[in-house]
Amino acid sequence: MPMSISSKNKSIKKQRVKRNQSSSLERKASLTYAKSTLTRVERDSLGEIMVPAQVYYGAQTARAMQNFPISGLRFSRSFIRALGLIKQASAKINHSLGLLDRKLASTIRDAAEEVIQGKWDSEFPVDIFQTGSGTSTNMNINEVLASRASELLGGTRESHLVHPHDHVNLGQSSNDVIPSAIHIAAIEQIHRELLPALIRLQRSLLNKTRQFDKIVKIGRTHLQDATPIRLGQEFGGYARQIELGITRAKRAQEVLTELALGGTAVGTGLNTHPVFAKRVIREVSKTIRCPLRETVNHFEAQSAQDSLLEASGCLRTIAVSLLKVANDIRWMGSGPRCGLGEITLPETQPGSSMMPGKVNPVIAESVAMVAVQVMGNDATIAIAGQTGNFELNAMLPVMAYNLLQSIELLSTAAKNFSVRCIEGIVANKKTCERHIEDSLAMCTALAPMIGYEAAAAIAKESSRTGKTVREIARQRQVLSDKQLQKSLDSLSMTGPSTLVK
C-alpha cells in the first residue's frame, strides 16, 4: 500500500532530527578533540616547549614527561598532600618574614590548599623513575601552584603573575623539600592508616585469645607434634606480635620527625632565611598534629637517608609478623577433611575453577603476598640508601614510592585480615581433642613420674602399634589409673607444673 503524504512528512522529519543529532555529536566530538589538542607555549632555561592548554603544570613538568616514559608509576596522594603542606606553610612564613607580598602569599596558600585536598592530583603526571632528587616533581608542584595562583589573582595560567621559582619555591630546594615530604607523608599515613589497622587486628586476635582459652590443641615444634597448648595461648602469641608491631610503627614515626627542610641545595642553607625552616616545620606540625623538628645536621639529612631505612626496617618486621600469623592460620585451617582442621576460616569465595566445593584461605594468602612485597620494598630502600654520594642521595623518588606503598599495603592488608578472616574464625574443638589423644608427645607428661627412657619406650610402642600413649601406659601399668588420668590431663599440661613423683 502506497505511503500517505502525512506518513512521508513524518518520516522526513525523523530523518532530519537524526541528521541534526548526528551533526551535533560530531561537532561536540570535534570540539573535544580540538580542546585536547590545544597547546600553549611555556619556557624554561632550555627554551620553549609546547604544553597542553588545559593543564596547570609548565615547561619543566612537560620535559620530565618526555624524559621519563618509564613505568606509569606516580607519587601517591599522601606524598602530593605533603608537598602541598610544605608549600602552603612556606608561603605563609615567607610573607611573615617580609619576603613575599601578602596577596601573592595568600593566593599560593589557597592554591596549595586545593592540592592538599586532592583537587589537582591529575596535574602530577611525572614518573617515579625520574631525576634522583625528585626535582621534576618539586617543579611540578611549583608550576601547578604558580599557574593556579595566577588564575586566582585574575590572570591566566600562562600569565605568570606568580612565579614557580621566585615565589612558590622561595627559600627551598628539591634537595630538602623532597626528603621532608617523604617524612611527612609517611608519618601521616602511619597515623591515619597503619596504626588503626594494626590496633584493630590486635583487638581481633585478643578476642579470639579469650574465646579460645579453654580449647586445648596439640602444640608443634619443627612441624612435629609437641606438648598440648591452649588455642587461646597460640592466638595470644599472635596478638603480642601485632602489639609489638604497633610499637614498631610508632618508632618508625619517631625516626621520621627530623626534617631536612632548611638545608636547600647541599645542606648549607644558602638562599633561605635563618628561621625559615624552623617556622615552616612548626606550621606543618600544627596542621598534621605531630611534633616535627628541623634536623640537627642538614648534611646528614640530605646526603644520607638512614631514617628511611630504619622506618622501612620497622615495616619489614611488621610484615614478617603478619606473614607468620597468616601462614599459621592457613595451616590450622587446612583440610577440611584431610588437613589439620583445627579451625574453620570464613568462606569468602569459591576456591577452584574445576574442583566443586573447594574453599581456599584466600585472605591469609593475600596477607602473605603483601608481606613479601613489603620485604622486597625494604630491600629496594636499603640498596637505594647506599647511594648517598657526597651531599645528596639521588634515589629519593624510588625510596618514597616503596616506603609509602609498604605503609599502604600493610594498612589495608591488616584491616582486611581482621574483618574478613580473624573475626570469623571458629575453633574445631573435637578435632583438637582427637589430635591430642593421638599424639606421641603426650608421653612427655609421664617422664617426671616414670623417667625419660620409660616414657620414650611408650612413645615408640605407640608409634609402632597405632595405639595411644594412654592405652600403652595403662597396659604396662606404669602408673595407677588415677595418676595416669591426672598426668595425661591435657589442660593441666598447658601451664607450669610441680614435678612431684
pLDDT (tens digit, 9 = 90+) per residue, 411-422? 999 999 999 999
Say yes or no: 419 and 474 in one domain: no
Residue 389 is assigned to a structural domain of this protein:
yes
Decide which of 170, 186, 211 is a domain's last residue. 170
> Quick one: 81 and 115 in the same domain?
yes
Judge whether 183 lies within some domain.
yes
Q: Where is 336: in which H helix or E strand?
A: none
The dihedral formed by the CA atoms of 285, 402, 58 and 174, expressed in degrees to the nearest 10: 50
pLDDT digits 0-9 by tens, 209-238: 999 999 999 999 999 999 999 999 999 999
Using the Cα atoms of residue 268, residue 262, residue 83 and residue 45 in order, give the sign of their dihedral: negative
CB 403 within 8 A of CB 312: yes
| CATH number of the structural domain spanning residue 451 | 1.10.40.30
Count Cα neighbours of 38 within 13 Å in the Cβ-side half-sphere.
9
Q: Are both 294 and 198 inside the same structural domain?
A: yes
- Per-residue CA distances from 334 to 245, 310, 339 (Å): 27, 36, 5
In tens, the pLDDT along 376-435 reads: 999 999 999 999 999 999 999 999 999 999 999 999 999 999 999 999 999 999 999 999
391 and 463 within one domain: no
At 379, which CATH number? 1.20.200.10
- In this structure, the answer to whether residues 253 and 368 fall within a common structural domain is yes
* Contact present, 186 and 404 (Cβ < 8 Å): yes
Over the stretch 231-275, which tens digit does the pLDDT of each residue have? 999 999 999 999 999 999 999 999 999 999 999 999 999 999 999
pLDDT at residue 31 above 70?
A: no
Give residue-wise pLDDT tens across range 144-190. 999 999 999 999 998 999 999 999 999 999 999 999 999 999 999 99
- Note whether residue 93 is domain-resident: yes
3-state class of 258 per DSSP? Answer: strand
What CATH number has the domain bearing residue 124?
A: 1.10.275.10
Please give the pLDDT value at position 501: 47
Query: Would residue 196 count as lying in a domain?
Result: yes
- CA distances 303 to 81, 264, 267, 280, 308, Å, are 24, 12, 8, 21, 12
Q: Which helix (H) or strand (E) holds 43?
A: strand 39-44
| Residue 373 CA from chain centroid, whole number | 10
Within a domain: 37: no
Q: How buried is residue 5: exposed, middle or buried, by Cβ count under 10 Å (0-12/13-18/19+)?
A: exposed
3 located within any domain: no
Average pLDDT over residues 108-133: 98
Clarify whether residues 277 and 256 are in a common domain: yes
Q: Is the pLDDT of residue 30 over 80?
A: no
Residues 263 and 293 grouped into a single domain: yes
The answer to whether residues 342 and 328 touch, using CB atoms and an 8 Å cutoff, is no
- 58 lies in some domain: yes
Residue 77 has pLDDT above 90, yes or no: yes
- Residue 431's identity, in one-letter code, is T
| Grid cell in block for residue 87 | 608549600
**231-255 vs 195-211: helix crossing angle, rounded to 10:** 160
Handedness of CA 364, 368, 370, 371 (dihedral sign): positive
Q: Catalytic amino acids?
A: 222, 352
Query: Residue 17 has what pLDDT?
Result: 56
Identify the residue whose cell numbers are 628511611. Answer: 308
pLDDT, average across residues 125-139: 98
pTM score: 0.90
Same domain membership, residue 291 and residue 323: yes
162-176, 195-209, 329-343, 345-359: which range is least confident on average?
345-359
Number of domains observed in the structure of the chain: 3
Domain boundary among 429, 447, 464: 429
Q: Is residue 95 part of a domain?
A: yes
190-194 long-range contacts (CB < 8 A, ≥24 apart) are: 190/249, 190/250, 190/252, 190/253, 190/407, 191/253, 191/288, 191/290, 193/407, 193/408, 193/411, 193/412, 194/249, 194/407, 194/410, 194/411, 194/414
- In sequence order, the β-bridge partners of residue 80 are none
Query: What is the residue range of 165's domain?
Result: 53-170
Radius of gyration, alpha carbons of the chain: 33
Average pLDDT over residues 434-453: 93
Domain end, chosen from 125, 146, 170, is at 170
What is the pLDDT at residue 7?
59
Torsion angle defined by CA atoms of residues 459, 465, 471 and 472, in that order, rounded to the nearest 10 degrees: -50
Q: Are strands 258-259 and 293-294 parallel, antiparallel or unpaired?
A: parallel
- Taking the C-alpha atoms of residue 431 and residue 437, their distance in angstroms, rounded to an integer, is 10
Q: Is the pLDDT of residue 36 over 70?
A: no
**What is the three-state SS of 379-428?**
HHHHHHHCCEECCEECCHHHHHHHHHHHHHHHHHHHHHHHHHCHHHCEEC
User: Helix %, strand %, coil % for the chain, to 5?
Assistant: 65, 5, 30
- Percent of residues, the chain, with pLDDT higher than 90: 89
Residues 153, 261 share a domain? no
Contact between residue 82 and residue 184 where contact means Cβ atoms under 8 Å apart: yes
Q: How far apart are CA 47 and CA 49, in angstroms?
A: 7
